[in-house]
Structure 1
């Protein structure tokens, strides 16, 4: 049997502070019912002052290592769009804080699709024989990059981190990642963008506009692209590995909007009761959303060994990707604050 990457452990965390819809409504012309109806979100977690993405990533990474029963890996990949700083990368710091100084680590930026991209990179390293174990972390802190008066973004995003340990194994094992599909479209890069801080903005040497410090998103267009790309990517992946919609036991999409999740499932003919929904508790946590949803579902006992799980995500860039695996027999702790 061919060498494959196998899911060996999961870990996640969210900050202690809970921000419910009523708190959001005190600064934006909206209310709890509107937010729930439009997004499915009832609350989200935001970091305390002084907390950085690397802090969340370290906790989630440690929990994933504990779940896998190991204390070290050969490579650390951190998927994030909100690193501790533009340079240096945050992953080496996370690796060192986890007791793995000297282990290679790098940041990966693919917005909300980052965790799936990270799984793809990790699996490639394992299948090529370059690594025996890889830690993949998705972590983002968007609460510090939101315009509190912008209803398109302020009601949606939460902070969090989720992590997975992959190990070398065989394709017939429970937990084996059996296929991927990735894509991008830079022509639509302006649908979700944070202008400030990059080389394009800084090279203009113009006064920085206040709004350039905040995430800007064209929600209606994002919705359409998200449905088309996530459904198309999922279907392309299933075709390539010989799965049909009846073969999917659980569908775990990027947790941006419950209407997007249900619409994608409908297009794919996957029953809505087989869709994992976690965004009601944490909002859109960007690269952390899929590992947070997986950790929550696994800790609650909804995922059983051998079940077929389909992951798909869509984010700015535009970027999208899907992954398929059979569920392993692993122990996963719940998502709690440190």
Structure 2
């Protein structure tokens, strides 16, 4: 049975506060200029946006507020209102609370009610997973318009009293890699001239028997004094696996669609860090595709990143253009990707 086509109408994004550059991080945590240079050389991220005020430790905004702003931008770009939404799907690794689900707080802030909502607990593959769920819901014919959200607020994992010089690399890297933000997209089941059609979505767990590459822990009253770090990465495993997995995702998408390398006009690569993104792009070997990245300005804000890329992409695409987006989640090694074409 042929699955009805789904169209990407618009995307929106929201970033908290002023940008925090590497020099500001170095000053706040008492690190020397050599540390700042290390970040520039080996990570490449120049700045990020944080919900926490580094001077006071106060949280200035939360995920629901950011996601609501991103949703409003996406709806405005699609020339729609919240009343036009039939279903909402959200992905995040860092919800504001375990309950109520952040997606429902966003729905309340948008002023909508009496519609289905879904929240996925996931990491860097989450935005594509949310798009996949939304597409499946639209394909049933019961809904016409879906609002898809993704975002993370990693700054709440910051311990501003830490001595960064004493941290092992697996924990230190989290301070410089990540930022906060939220994104949104509007999907429709209704065709129209000049719309961007989703040609393919890929989501696959591939981590059976593998140790997690990225862990975000949660502490309750019984274990809040645990000595386990709240966040940790096996960055060496990520360096070894993510470029290879990105290549596998690309090849599968192109093979399934019958597209050749030179059919791709835009490439939206995984966005872990500037240096790794550059390495991945070089290895993928699509010299004719224009790269759409934002990692150097936003840091890795998890579930928000693909939407930030899509917002930039949609402003550039012309009729007949094709784009491929890739995402790799190291938490339990997930492959995700999508292919788009503007009619």
Counterparts of 2:66 and 2:92, CA distance in 1? 11
How far off its partner does 1:2 sit?
Answer: 6.2
Distance 1:207 1:21, change over 3 A: closer
The Cα of 1:167 is off from its aligned counterpart by 0.2
Task: Output aligned runs, 1:16-165, within 5 Å.
Answer: 16-26=17-27, 27=29, 28=31, 30-48=34-52, 49-71=59-81, 72-146=84-158, 149=164, 150-165=171-186
> How far apart, CA to CA, are the structure 2 residues paired with 1:19 and 1:272?
33
Distance 2:192 2:325 in 1: 17
Give the 3 Å change call, closer, same or farther, for CA 62–206 of structure 1 in structure 2: closer
Match of 1:208 in 2: 225
Partners of 1:249 and 1:82 in 2: CA distance: 33
Structure 1 residue 308, shift from structure 2 partner: 0.6
Name the CA shift for 1:210/1:61 in 2 (closer, same or farther; >3 Å).
Answer: farther
The aligned counterpart of 1:311 is 325
**Are residue 281 (structure 1) and residue 297 (structure 2) matched?**
yes
Q: Deviations over 1:250-307 (max 9, x none)?
A: 1112321223323333333212872112111111010101111222344xx4333431
Q: Is the 8 Å Cα contact of residues 196 and 208 (structure 1) preserved in structure 2? A: no
Q: Given the two structures, how large is their TM-score scaled by the length of structure 1? A: 0.87
What is the Cα deviation at residue 173 of structure 1?
6.2
Q: TM-score when scaled to structure 2?
A: 0.86
Distance across 2 between alignment mates of 1:135 and 1:42: 31
SS at match of 1:237: helix
Which one of the candidate residues 190, 193, 197 is aligned to 2:212? Answer: 190
Greater Cα radius of gyration, structure 1 or 2: 2
Aligned partners of 2:224 and 2:172: how far apart in 1? Answer: 26
The alignment partner of 1:182 has SS state of strand
| Partner of residue 336, structure 1 | none
Q: Which runs of 5+ in 1 are unaligned?
A: 329-338
Task: Quote the Cα distance in structure 2 between the aligned partners of 1:309 and 1:196.
Answer: 37
Q: When the two structures are aligned, how many residues end up with a matched partner?
A: 320
Instruction: Look up the SS of the partner of 1:118 in the other structure.
Output: helix
- Correspondences of 1:160-239 after superposition (within 5 Å): 160-170=181-191, 174-184=195-205, 185-197=207-219, 205=222, 208-212=225-229, 214-239=230-255
Secondary structure of 2:316's counterpart equals coil
- In the alignment, the residues of structure 2 paired with residue 168 and residue 321 of structure 1 have an alpha-carbon distance, to the nearest angstrom, of 22
CA–CA separation in structure 1 for the residues paired with 2:225 and 2:93: 20
Measure how far apart 1:188 and its partner are: 3.2
Residue deviations 1:139-178, cap 9 Å, x none? Answer: 1000111456342110010001111000013599641000
Residues 216-241 of structure 1: CA distance to partner in whole angstroms, max 9, x if unpaired?
Answer: 11111112221122221121111101
8 Å contact 1:10–1:64 — kept in the other structure? Answer: yes
**2:168 corresponding residue in structure 1:** none
Q: CA deviation at 1:70?
A: 1.1
